[in-house]
Amino acid sequence: MPLPLLYNSSMMNPADLGKRIRTLRKERGMTQAQLADRLGVTFQAVSKWENGRSVPDVLMLREISALFGTDLNAMLDGKEPKPAEKKPYWIIAVIAAALILLAGYLQRTRKRDYFEFRTLSSGCSAFNISGSLASGSDQSYLYISDITYCGEEDHTKYRRIQCSLYEGDTVLDTDVYEGSEPTALIEYLKGVRFMVNQEKDACTVKPDSVLQIEIQAVNEAGTAVGYTIPVTSADTCSSTDS
């Protein structure tokens, strides 16, 4: 059964990425040889990137973005990221790096010359979510990198917290905290990550499918509380074969 999602869709094509690298290089008055020297690669490698014949790996993309003083997200879609409320810039960089890691794997296994990215968000006012879906011709990767509680101030300590990602009634992934020291929900969520790999094309996702996160927590007095967080995105998927 395909992953259910609603997203804002963007697509990375090697040719588009190559054009952005060329533009950034020329804006800084550098030749291909000079850029290659700064990165410790051959100028032929730079030429292949700019012509869309190959894609730098994630570590090299980080070096390129640092050298040009641009954000990884901008390297992917050509747009400078907008500041998000209550979200430090490093979170955007982490998400972009995760997308590139997923893209690198898909590029080695894909049956078509591109992969698509979609952004996940929360449908609940008490929680913010940062996540994405990367899809190839026969595989899709769902990655949720950040869940932040932003509801009413809560200093309650919980001795057990379980956070599960659901597709309908099916559990895709679960994280459980049951340590010797009780912890606050906001602190626990800082370390929660979900990454799900399914062998399917995300473009086959049904728009009426349901994806949600459920949190069950038990405080020091033994009282249980729960939250349900709908995960939302766009219900369409655009694709272009190379």
* 241 in a structural domain: no
- Domain for residue 162, yes or no? yes
Name residue 151's amino acid: G
For 73-99, give the DSSP string: HHHHHSSPPPPBTTB-HHHHHHHHHHH
Residue 12 to residue 211: CA distance in whole angstroms: 25
The answer to whether residue 237 sits within a structural domain is no
Range of the domain at 44: 8-232
Please give the model's pTM, rounded to 2 decimal places.
0.49
| Domain-embedded: residue 242 | no
pLDDT at 235 over 70: no
User: What is the predicted pLDDT for the residue at 10?
Assistant: 42
Place of tokens 């952004």: 119
pLDDT at 182: 94
* 216 in any annotated domain: yes
Locus of tokens 């990550």? 193
Tens of pLDDT, residues 11-32: 457 788 888 889 888 998 999 8
> Residue 182 CB: number of other CB atoms within 10 A?
16
pLDDT in tens, 33-55: 899 899 989 988 888 888 888 88
195-227 exposure pattern, b = at least 16 Cβ within 10 A, e = fewer: beebebbbbebeeeeebbbebebbbeeeeeeeb
Please indicate, yes or no, if residue 181 is contained in any of the structural domains. yes
Query: Where residue 97 sits, what CATH number does that domain have?
Result: 1.10.260.40
Phi-psi region of 50 (alpha: psi -120 to 50; beta: other; left: phi over 0): alpha
3-class SS at 60? Answer: helix
What stretches of 136-223 adopt beta strand conformation (E)? 140-149, 157-167, 170-177, 183-184, 194-198, 211-219
Please give the helix or strand (H or E) that residue 238 lies within, else none.
Answer: none
Q: What is the pLDDT of residues 177-212, one digit of tens each?
A: 988 899 999 999 988 988 887 665 444 444 445 789
- The helix (run of H) or strand (run of E) holding residue 72 is helix 72-77
How far CA 225 is from CA of 14, 146, 217, 219, in Å, comes to 47, 21, 5, 8
Q: Answer yes or no: is 116 within a domain.
A: yes
Structurally, how many domains does the chain consist of? 1
